[in-house]
C-alpha cells in the first residue's frame, strides 16, 4: 500500500515537473511540408470513401441508426471543442472518436472526424486545410481503429473497462500519431526522426493522460445512457461494427 | 435499480469534474495557455529554416471571436445530444403508456 502511494506521488511529481509546453492539438496550417501534406491526403482518402460507403449501408439496413450516428458525431463535436486544463499546466482536448468506433466500427468515424476537422480548420484556424489529411489520419482513422481493436479484445472480460480503455487509448494514440507525423516531417538535424519524435511526444504525453481518463469515463457514461433506451428507440448497439 | 444506474453515472461524472478542476487548483502559476503557439517553437527549434508555406484562410479576429466559434461548436454538439435523449426518452414513455393501456383494457 505504501509502495503504491510512493509510486503515485512519484508519477504526480513527474507530471508537475514535466516541461510546460503547450501543444497544438492538430497540426497547424502550413506546418507540414508539401510532400507530407499530399502523402497524408492520399493515405486518408480511401478511409473516408470507405467510411461513407459503410455509413450509407448502415442507414439502409436500419434507418434508426441515423439518430445514433448523429449522436456520435455530436459527441466528437462537443468533446473536441472543450479545451481542458491538464496537470502539466497546459490545455488540450479530447477527441470523442472512441464512442463512434465502438458503436459503428472504425470506418464511419473518418467521416465524423473529417466534418469536425473541416469546421475547425475553416472557422477556427485550428488545424488547417493543408494539414487536413494528416489530422484526419491521426484523429479519425488511427484513433478509432485503436479503440475498435481494444474494445473487441476486452469486451468479453468486462464491458465497462473495455469501453473506458478503448476510448482512453484512442485519445492517447491520436496524439502519438500526430507526433510521428511531425517527427517525420521535421527530423532533428542531430538525432534524426527518433530524437524529434521524443521531443514531440514529451510535449503532450503527460498532458494527455488525465484528459484520456476523462474521455474514457465520459464515453462509459454516455454508453450507459444509450443502452437504457435501446429497445424502445429502435437503434441497435454494435450491430454494424 | 434505475436510481442505482443514475448514481453510478453521477459518480463517474464527478470524477471527470475533479480531473478537470484539480489542475486549476493545484497549479496556481501555470499559464494554461494558447494551444498552437508553443508547437511552432519546437518546430523552429528543430528546423530553424522552416517557413509555414500556407496561412489559414480565415482566422478569428480576436480571442473573443475564437471562443464564440468554439462555443458554437460545443453548442451544436450539445443540442444534438439533448435532442437525441429527449427523443428516445419520449419514445420509451410513449411505449410505456401504450402497454399499460393495453393491459387496462384486458383487465376490463
User: Does residue B97 register a pLDDT over 50?
Assistant: yes
CA dist., res. B96 & res. A111, Å (int):
36
Judging contacts by C-beta atoms under 8 Å, the chain B residues touching residue A34 are 53
* CB-based contact B40 A31, cutoff 8 Å: yes
User: What would the pLDDT profile of A14-25 be if each residue is shown by its tens digit?
Assistant: 444 443 333 456
Judging contacts by C-beta atoms under 8 Å, the chain B residues touching residue A70 are 80, 84
Q: Any idea how long chain B is?
A: 108
Residue of A nearest to B29 (CA): A89
DSSP string spanning B55-72? --S---SSHHHHHHHHHH
Nearest by Cα to A105 from A67, A74, A65, A161: A65
Residue A153 has which C-alpha cell?
A: 479484445
> Which of A20, A88, A129, A194 to probe by mutation at the B interface, max B CB count within 10 Å?
A20
Nearest by Cα to A100 from A83, A120, A80: A80
B28 or A218, higher pLDDT: A218
- State how far residue A24 is from chain B, nearest Cα, in angstroms: 4
Check residue A14 and give its pLDDT.
46
The pLDDT confidence band at residue B37, using thresholds 50, 70 and 90, is low
Average pLDDT estimate for A177-190: 88
Q: Which of A70, A119, A125 sits opposite B84 (nearest CB)?
A: A70
- Asked whether B84 and A230 are in contact (CB, 8 A), the reply is no
* CB-based contact A23 B52, cutoff 8 Å: no
User: Does residue A52 register a pLDDT over 60?
Assistant: yes
Domain A24-233, CATH class in plain words: mainly alpha
A237 or B8, higher pLDDT: B8
Residue B106 has which C-alpha cell?
A: 384486458
Task: Report the percentage of chain B scoring pLDDT > 70.
Answer: 88
Domain boundaries, chain B: 2-29+60-107
Judging contacts by C-beta atoms under 8 Å, the chain A residues touching residue B74 are 77-78, 81-82
* CB-based contact B74 A77, cutoff 8 Å: yes
What are the phi and psi torsion angles at A151 (to 5°)?
-60, -45
Average pLDDT estimate for B75-93: 92
Instruction: Work out the mean pLDDT of chain A and round it to a whole number.
Output: 86
Nearest by Cα to B74 from A118, A104, A128, A116: A116
Check residue B35 and give its pLDDT.
44
- A89-110 in b/e form (b: 16+ CB < 10 A) is bbbbbbbbbbbbbbbbbbbbbb
Residue tagged 473529417 (cell numbers): A114
The pLDDT confidence band at residue B30, using thresholds 50, 70 and 90, is confident
A191 or A35, higher pLDDT: A35
Amino acid at each position: 500500500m505504501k509502495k503504491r502511494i510512493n509510486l503515485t506521488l512519484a508519477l504526480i511529481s513527474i507530471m508537475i515537473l514535466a516541461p510546460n509546453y503547450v501543444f497544438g492539438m492538430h497540426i497547424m496550417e502550413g506546418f507540414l511540408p508539401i510532400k507530407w501534406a499530399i502523402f497524408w491526403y492520399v493515405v486518408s482518402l480511401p478511409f473516408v470513401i470507405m467510411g461513407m460507403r459503410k455509413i450509407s449501408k448502415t442507414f439502409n439496413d436500419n434507418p434508426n441508426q441515423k439518430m445514433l450516428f448523429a449522436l456520435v458525431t455530436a459527441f466528437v463535436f462537443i468533446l473536441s471543442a472543450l479545451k481542458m486544463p491538464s496537470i502539466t499546466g497546459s490545455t488540450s482536448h479530447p477527441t470523442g472518436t472512441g464512442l463512434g468506433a465502438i458503436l459503428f466500427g472504425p470506418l464511419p468515424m473518418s467521416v465524423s472526424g473529417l466534418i469536425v476537422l473541416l469546421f475547425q480548420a475553416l472557422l477556427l484556424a485550428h488545424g488547417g486545410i493543408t494539414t487536413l489529411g494528416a489530422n484526419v489520419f491521426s484523429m479519425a482513422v488511427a484513433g478509432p481503429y485503436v479503440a475498435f481493436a481494444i474494445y473487441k479484445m476486452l469486451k468479453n472480460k468486462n464491458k465497462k473497462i473495455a469501453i473506458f480503455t478503448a476510448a482512453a487509448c484512442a485519445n492517447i494514440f491520436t496524439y502519438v500519431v500526430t507526433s510521428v507525423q511531425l517527427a517525420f516531417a521535421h527530423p532533428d538535424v542531430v538525432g534524426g526522426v527518433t530524437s524529434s519524435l521524443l521531443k514531440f511526444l514529451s510535449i503532450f504525453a503527460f498532458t494527455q493522460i488525465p484528459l484520456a481518463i476523462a474521455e474514457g469515463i465520459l464515453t462509459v457514461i454516455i454508453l450507459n445512457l444509450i443502452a437504457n433506451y435501446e429497445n424502445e428507440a429502435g437503434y441497435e448497439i454494435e450491430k454494424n461494427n | 435499480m434505475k436510481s442505482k444506474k443514475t448514481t453510478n453515472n453521477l459518480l463517474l461524472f464527478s470524477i471527470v469534474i475533479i480531473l478537470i478542476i484539480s489542475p486549476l487548483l493545484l497549479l496556481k502559476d501555470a499559464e494554461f495557455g494558447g494551444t498552437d503557439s508553443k508547437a511552432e517553437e519546437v518546430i523552429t527549434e528543430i528546423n530553424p529554416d522552416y517557413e509555414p508555406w500556407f496561412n489559414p484562410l480565415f482566422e478569428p479576429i480576436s480571442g473573443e471571436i475564437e471562443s464564440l466559434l468554439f462555443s458554437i461548436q460545443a453548442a451544436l454538439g450539445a443540442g444534438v445530444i439533448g435532442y437525441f435523449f429527449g427523443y428516445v426518452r419520449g419514445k420509451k414513455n410513449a411505449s410505456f403508456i401504450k402497454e399499460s393501456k393495453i393491459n387496462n383494457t384486458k383487465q376490463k
